[in-house]
Amino acid sequence: MTENKRQIAIIGAGFAGMSAAWDLAKAGHQVSILEAAAEPGGLASGFKEPHWEWSVERFYHHWFQTDSHLLGLIEELGWSDKVHFPKPISVMYHEGKFYPFDSIPAALAYPGLGFGLNKIRFGLVGVYLKLTNNWRKLEKSTTDAWMRKYAGNEVYDSMWQPMMIGKFGENWHDKVSMAWMWARLKVRTTRLGTFEGGFQAFADQFAAKLQGAGVNIRYNTRVSTIRRLEDGRMAVSLQDGTSENFDQVLVTLSPGMMAKMAPDLPEDYLGGLLKLKSMGAVVMTVSIKHPLSPQGYYWYNIPKQAGFPFLSLVEHTNFLKPEYFGGDHILYIGDYLEIDHPNFKKSDEELAEEFLPHLSKINPNFNRDWVKKIWVSRTPYAQPIPLPNHSENIPSINTPIPGLFFASMSQVYPWDRGTNFAVEIGRRAAKMMLVEKNMDGV
């Protein structure tokens, strides 16, 4: 136990917050996690019907075999035997049909690439991006400009532009840093992973492990403001009107939330937070009586110009067995949207009326009678938008206010958001907190 035991507050019980808490508690400090929701997990949290053995995430998640930070933490916790890596089939849309697109041979056979030179350029670009580590050179360009130059207009228009429009919308798709695309392709694997019981099972077990290590996790606890006191401690005010003091505070929420909670941050840091751009997400989860895909496809990449009112369709039970969900077949229907998009205000039934008829394009036998239950999840902060040279605009984890730290998905760049890099940035923040206060007793 350290001689300089500190009182530390972590705002948010997502993967970043819990990972930081793990390292800080192991170093001998008293850690409290303040979480606004009723359960841990953040954007990776899930829900479960009474007849299901596994939970389903509100916003679809999976791991790659390259997710070393997350898998390393799981190994440290002794749970590696609970990680499963099936190999589902992902498909790409072209002229009314879907084609497998989850391996190099499948990609080269995809008719949307055309023939000859286009496929050669596509293959060479893919190999180069897999092998190079020089993302700083890539970040000087947009994905749109770089891909058009090296892969060619036809390949980009067929392959990448529809995905970019779907992910970042009409306003941002041609402005995103090429380093973002490099990172996406760099880490992808054909096998996709999950935790036995679902991501919520992992979050619940991790939370229990933290509580066993002395971490105080308080759910349904919403923070309003954070201010530094004259004695150097941090005052954390809650929305119930109470206030508590801590030696250090780590915020693991969105940049916008951080700006609201810490209005005393210097103008340049605060302005940097507010300049960061992001997309929101609306995801409908549907349980149905029968499998949707006759071919057993898992992930459908759907361009907006194909006429579907959503970006992705994921048949979760072609990744995991329907038996885990009481025989139900689980679909995700998702889209990244700017936060002023009407879908954020539509009712669940309005979205169902808009989305569900399009499932008959996948399976002509589908009808509304197949549907057992619908859930809709919305978040205004789902996908950071990294512009060229974004590395120059990343807010530091160690804020200008001593004792106040910030770790979010907007800071994991050039890597994309996800639980693996949430673990990485949470543990990196914990190291910085230990160094700031010399809390490790060295």
Q: Which two tokens stand for residue 384?
A: 């950071």
Cα→Cα distances 186→32, 65, 273, 383, 411, Å: 36, 12, 27, 18, 18
Model confidence at 100, in pLDDT bands (50, 70, 90)? confident
Q: In the CATH scheme, what is the code of domain 7-84+196-276+391-436?
A: 3.50.50.60
Cα dihedral 331, 335, 336, 340 sign: negative
Place of tokens 């919520």: 200
Report, as an integer, the average pLDDT of 129-136. 93
Burial of 190 (0-12, 13-18, 19+ CB in 10 A): middle
Report the candidate in 239, 233, 213, 212 with the shortest Cα–Cα distance to residue 35: 239
251-302 per-position pLDDT tens digit: 999 999 999 999 999 999 999 999 999 999 999 999 999 999 989 999 998 8
381-393 per-position pLDDT tens digit: 999 999 999 999 9
Report the candidate in 437, 341, 325, 413 with the shortest Cα–Cα distance to residue 28: 437
Report, as an integer, the average pLDDT of 171-198. 93
Q: 33 pairs with which residues across the strands?
A: 10, 217
Model confidence at 2, in pLDDT bands (50, 70, 90)? low
pLDDT at 94: 83
Sheet holding 83-84, edge to edge: 63-64, 192-195, 83-84
Rounded Cα distance, 344 and 338, in Å: 9
Kindly tell me if the per-residue pLDDT of 441 is higher than 70. no
Burial of 252 (0-12, 13-18, 19+ CB in 10 A): buried
Model confidence at 437, in pLDDT bands (50, 70, 90)? low
Model confidence at 108, in pLDDT bands (50, 70, 90)? confident
Report, as an integer, the average pLDDT of 155-177. 90
Rounded Cα distance, 267 and 399, in Å: 12
pLDDT at 440: 42
66-87 per-position pLDDT tens digit: 999 999 999 999 999 999 999 9
Kindly tell me if the per-residue pLDDT of 1 is higher than 50. no
**Per-domain residue ranges for the chain?**
7-84+196-276+391-436, 103-187, 277-385
Would you say the CATH fold of 277-385 matches that of 7-84+196-276+391-436? Answer: no
- The architecture in CATH of the region 277-385 reads Alpha-Beta Complex (3.90)
Report, as an integer, the average pLDDT of 355-360. 96
Model confidence at 93, in pLDDT bands (50, 70, 90)? confident
Q: Which two tokens stand for residue 243?
A: 């206030």
Rounded Cα distance, 365 and 289, in Å: 12
Report the range of poorest mean pLDDT among 92-96, 386-390, 404-408.
92-96
pLDDT at 442: 37
- For residue 127, what are the contacts with CB-CB under 8 A and spacing of at least 6? none
310-341 per-position pLDDT tens digit: 988 999 999 999 999 999 999 999 999 999 99
What is the pTM for the complete model shown?
A: 0.93
Model confidence at 208, in pLDDT bands (50, 70, 90)? very high
pLDDT at 228: 96
pLDDT at 49: 97
pLDDT at 105: 78
